[in-house]
């Protein structure tokens, strides 16, 4: 299949490049507005009890507040005449705004929880209708208008916050950070690629694949964003994976093409042979990465599902481009792939082995246990903190301290009694009599950790507000949610529990309940794909075990950094529990990239073994040929990912640093040391498989003698006159 694809694209290279150009233009034209169709949030299961409680309450009892105004008296108390007059005027202005409902103010109801402990601050709550960009525009406008001074000496200073403004600022800062990262990453990556490839022309080829993958994925996200919910953070994954996989696949294709040129093949023959060998590797690599990313579709929150949409699109477009567009370009370029060279990088332009990785492989093969045990010990030490991981749902503390909604959130947490804001909303539907509902409310008030119960309010549905004694994120508050749900409701009544603690319980249950299924799927698909690729029973199991170990090490490091806060001053984030969704996202993405590198290494080791080398020699040969490629690809991808670690949003910092660290560990210690060490210890068992799987696999054709057709002296080939002859595979 890959040989036929190679023959086709190298026979009509200009047609392939024209099609790629049209695809790029269409993607840019229709995908440029993708960000406007994407959303923030999406961390909860829409079918969970807390989500359904919120929808029922919003439809019948009024939507919960998503805009918070905190007013501070210029002097004295908020009950002073001047402050009271200004507060009542502010309340009237807020209520008169279009698309604003459910306005609650300290100056209209005198609710104690809306008055700060120092008496100088007071709060106003409201709900702003809308969603997505529409809601973001409305809350930005309201925040600007209502916080602007009303005179030379205003009686109140006003700050705006709330979930709607938090989401709007998250989206705005994430997009700004993405553009800032691109300004650094693209030129920085090009410079590094020039140093790696040894020529400017060769360095530009992986970036072309990355640009095609990013543009095509933006088109996909734009279409999906018009029909379903897609997270705005999928844009960051699109950029990181697009560049990363473009570099991975570009390195593999260009390096193999250079090898074939150095062996004397004409450009078109070299391109066909490259597609047949490296293209086969890329096909399996893309399949394994897609399988890992598809596991995210098991989870209901659209935040996670969005990364599956973006990731799969990026992988498919990058892989297809690498085995079609790149060979077409290489056929036309021929020896000019090495044009504009870096003089001191001659060796890399010939596709030769890496002396460093060959030497390391020989050491590891000679002393596999001595090499493997320290690396395993290091990974276990890194993994240890994950045993103490805590989880929470993201809020305004994911923003930098200078963001408006973050400052308002900090003010609310520091100046107000927050027990009321953590109240659980118990929504009762059905036709139970009033007396039965009141008796149910009394039973709830008798539960441990309940400060007070208000209600029931309304008829069908009715709402009971349960204020916990404990912090909403604490174990006690979460246990209270389970106790309320376990308390028998009146006959003929359905009960839904919402509120901050219920949202956290449901988020943890949503992820936790599906983790076994996700792990089983990712392990099974990886095993099946690697089994088909290697025709070995042991190698897929070894790959899964090593990936699990390195990923646990990464998650442990993330607990040490973000939960314990060891690098908080350097990176500028607020330490706290991990987001319920981010470890799952990190696991699936890094697992897929790890298998990607595994396929690269195993392909060359298996190729050498199928050509007749013993296990030790094939390991050394494979690592020597791929060690430089894998490490270089990993370093460049890590550079792209770690650039997101400079974001001002802690969620992006977690993703960038975690994924970058995972790629670096995998591309160096795991693929460079653990893989060859364990393969050397396994010996002949590496290649054992049940009899039905022992069919002969095609291997790369041995290079014919110099007089054979299809070869010529380096630098003397005319691509337009090159015939394609691919020799039959060697037989074992």
Tell me the C-alpha distance between 67 and 159, whole Å.
11
**What share of residues in the chain are helix, strand, coil (percent, to 5)?**
65, 10, 25
Decide if pLDDT at 706 tops 70. Answer: no
Decide if pLDDT at 730 tops 60. Answer: no
How many angstroms separate the Cα of 166 from the Cα of each of 27, 145, 177, 237?
31, 17, 16, 21
Tell me the C-alpha distance between 142 and 139, whole Å.
5
Tell me the C-alpha distance between 543 and 620, whole Å.
18
Averaged pLDDT for residues 152-171:
86
Helix residue spans in 226-367 (DSSP H): 234-262, 267-274, 280-294, 302-333, 355-366
Contact 574, 397 (CB under 8 A): yes
Decide if pLDDT at 72 tops 70. Answer: yes
Tell me the C-alpha distance between 251 and 530, whole Å.
21
Decide if pLDDT at 345 tops 60. Answer: no
Averaged pLDDT for residues 351-360:
79
User: Pairing mode, if any, of strands 578-579 and 67-73?
Assistant: unpaired
Contact 499, 57 (CB under 8 A): no
Tell me the C-alpha distance between 170 and 673, whole Å.
41
Decide if pLDDT at 626 tops 60. Answer: yes
pLDDT of residue 646: 81
Averaged pLDDT for residues 625-649:
83
For 660-675, b where at least 16 C-beta lie within 10 A, e where not — what string? bbbbbbbbbbbbbbbb
Most confident of 275-284, 374-383, 586-595, 710-719: 374-383
DSSP state of 695: P
Helix residue spans in 120-233 (DSSP H): 132-147, 163-197, 200-225
Tokens 């078109």 — which residue?
Answer: 268
The count of other CB atoms within 10 Å of the CB of residue 271 is: 34
Locate 125 and state its tokens.
């709550």
pLDDT of residue 421: 66
pLDDT of residue 719: 42
Proportion of the chain above pLDDT 90, given as a percent: 27
Omega before 461 cis (within 30°)?
A: yes
Binned at pLDDT 50, 70 and 90, residue 362 comes out as very high
How many angstroms separate the Cα of 552 from the Cα of each of 369, 385, 387, 433?
22, 10, 10, 53
Contact 484, 426 (CB under 8 A): yes
Tell me the C-alpha distance between 223 and 361, whole Å.
47
The four Cα atoms 431, 436, 437, 438 give a dihedral, to 10 degrees, of 150
Locate 572 and state its tokens.
């500028």
| Direct distance between the N- and C-terminal alpha carbons of the chain, in angstroms, rounded to an integer | 21
Decide if pLDDT at 704 tops 80. Answer: no
Mean pLDDT of the residues in the chain: 85
Beta bridge partners of 73: 156
Binned at pLDDT 50, 70 and 90, residue 419 comes out as low
Per-residue pLDDT tens over the stretch 509-548: 999 899 999 999 999 999 998 988 888 889 999 999 999 9
Tell me the C-alpha distance between 27 and 218, whole Å.
7
Averaged pLDDT for residues 99-105:
88
φ/ψ bin of 714: left (φ > 0), alpha (ψ from -120 to 50), beta (otherwise)? beta
- Of all helices (H) and strands (E), which one includes residue 579? strand 578-579
Beta bridge partners of 497: 426
DSSP state of 698: P
User: Pairing mode, if any, of strands 391-392 and 578-579?
Assistant: parallel
Pick the more confident residue, 1 or 45.
45
Beta bridge partners of 464: 426
Burial class (CB in 10 A: 0-12, 13-18, 19+), 8: middle
Locate 701 and state its tokens.
């054709």
Averaged pLDDT for residues 567-577:
87
Most confident of 133-147, 174-188, 192-206: 133-147
Tell me the C-alpha distance between 516 and 521, whole Å.
9
Tell me the C-alpha distance between 396 and 409, whole Å.
7
Locate 574 and state its tokens.
């607020």
Tell me the C-alpha distance between 501 and 481, whole Å.
7
DSSP state of 474: S
């Amino acid at each position: 299949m890959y040989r036929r694809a190679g023959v086709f694209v190298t026979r009509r290279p200009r047609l392939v490049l024209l099609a790629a150009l049209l695809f790029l233009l269409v993607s840019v034209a229709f995908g440029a507005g993708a960000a406007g169709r994407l959303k923030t949030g999406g961390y909860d299961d829409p079918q969970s009890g807390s989500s359904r409680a919120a929808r029922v309450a919003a439809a019948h009892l009024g939507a919960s507040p998503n805009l918070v105004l905190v007013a501070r008296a210029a002097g004295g108390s908020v009950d002073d005449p001047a402050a009271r007059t200004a507060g009542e005027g502010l309340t009237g202005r807020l209520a008169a705004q279009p698309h604003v409902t459910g306005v609650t103010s300290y100056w209209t109801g005198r609710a104690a929880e809306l008055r700060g402990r120092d008496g100088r601050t007071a709060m106003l709550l409201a709900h702003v209708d809308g969603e997505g960009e529409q809601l973001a525009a409305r809350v930005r406008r309201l925040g600007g208008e209502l916080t602007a001074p009303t005179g030379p000496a205003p009686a109140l200073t006003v700050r705006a916050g709330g979930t709607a403004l938090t989401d709007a600022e998250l989206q705005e800062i994430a997009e700004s950070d993405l553009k800032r990262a691109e300004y650094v990453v693209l030129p920085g990556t090009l410079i590094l690629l020039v140093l790696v490839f040894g020529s400017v022309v060769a360095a530009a080829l992986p970036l072309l694949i990355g640009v095609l993958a990013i543009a095509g994925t933006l088109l996909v996200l734009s279409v999906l964003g018009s029909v379903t919910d897609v997270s705005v953070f999928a844009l960051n994954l699109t950029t990181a994976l697009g560049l990363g996989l473009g570099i991975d696949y570009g390195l593999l294709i260009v390096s193999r093409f250079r090898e074939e040129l150095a062996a004397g093949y004409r450009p078109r023959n070299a391109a066909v042979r490259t597609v047949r060998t490296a293209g086969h590797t890329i096909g399996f690599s893309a399949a394994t990465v897609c399988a890992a990313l598809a596991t995210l579709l098991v989870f209901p929150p659209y935040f996670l599902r969005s990364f599956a949409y973006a990731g799969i699109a990026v992988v498919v477009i990058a892989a297809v481009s690498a085995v079609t567009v790149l060979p077409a370009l290489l056929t036309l370029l021929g020896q000019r792939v090495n044009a504009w060279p870096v003089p001191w990088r001659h060796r890399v332009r010939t596709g030769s082995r890496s002396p460093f990785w060959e030497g390391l492989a020989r050491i590891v093969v000679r002393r596999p246990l001595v090499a493997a045990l320290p690396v395993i010990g290091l990974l276990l030490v890194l993994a240890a903190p994950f045993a103490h991981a805590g989880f929470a749902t993201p809020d305004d503390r994911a923003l930098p301290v200078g963001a408006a909604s973050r400052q308002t959130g900090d003010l609310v947490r520091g100046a107000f009694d927050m027990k009321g804001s953590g109240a659980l909303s118990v929504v009762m539907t059905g036709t139970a009599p009033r007396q039965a509902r009141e008796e149910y409310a009394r039973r709830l008030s008798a539960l441990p950790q309940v400060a007070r119960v208000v209600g029931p309010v309304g008829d069908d549905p009715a709402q009971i507000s349960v204020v916990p004694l404990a912090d909403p994120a604490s174990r006690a508050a979460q246990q209270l949610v389970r106790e309320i749900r376990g308390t028998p409701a009146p006959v003929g009544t359905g009960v839904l529990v919402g509120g901050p603690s219920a949202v956290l319980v449901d988020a943890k249950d949503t992820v936790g309940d599906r983790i076994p299924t996700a792990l089983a799927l990712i392990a099974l698909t990886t095993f099946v794909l690697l089994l088909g690729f290697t025709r070995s029973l042991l190698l897929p199991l070894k790959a899964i075990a090593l990936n699990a170990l390195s990923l646990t090490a990464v998650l442990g490091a993330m607990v040490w950094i973000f939960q314990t806060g060891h690098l908080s001053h350097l990176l500028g984030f607020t330490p706290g529990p991990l987001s319920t969704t981010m470890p799952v996202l990190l696991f699936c993405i890094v697992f897929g990239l790890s298998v990607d590198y595994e396929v690269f290494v195993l392909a060359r080791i298996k190729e050498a073994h199928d050509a007749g080398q013993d296990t030790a020699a094939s390991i050394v040969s494979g690592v020597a040929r791929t060690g430089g490629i894998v490490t270089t690809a990993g370093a460049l991808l890590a550079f792209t990912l770690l650039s997101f670690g400079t974001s001002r949003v802690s969620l992006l910092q977690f993703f960038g640093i975690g994924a970058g660290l995972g790629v670096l560990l995998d591309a160096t210690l795991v693929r460079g040391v653990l893989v060859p060490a364990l393969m050397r210890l396994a010996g002949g068992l590496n290649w054992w498989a049940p009899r039905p799987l022992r069919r002969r696999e095609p291997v790369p054709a041995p290079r014919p003698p110099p007089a054979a057709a299809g070869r010529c002296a380096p630098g003397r080939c005319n691509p337009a006159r090159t015939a394609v002859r691919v020799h039959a595979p060697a037989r074992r």
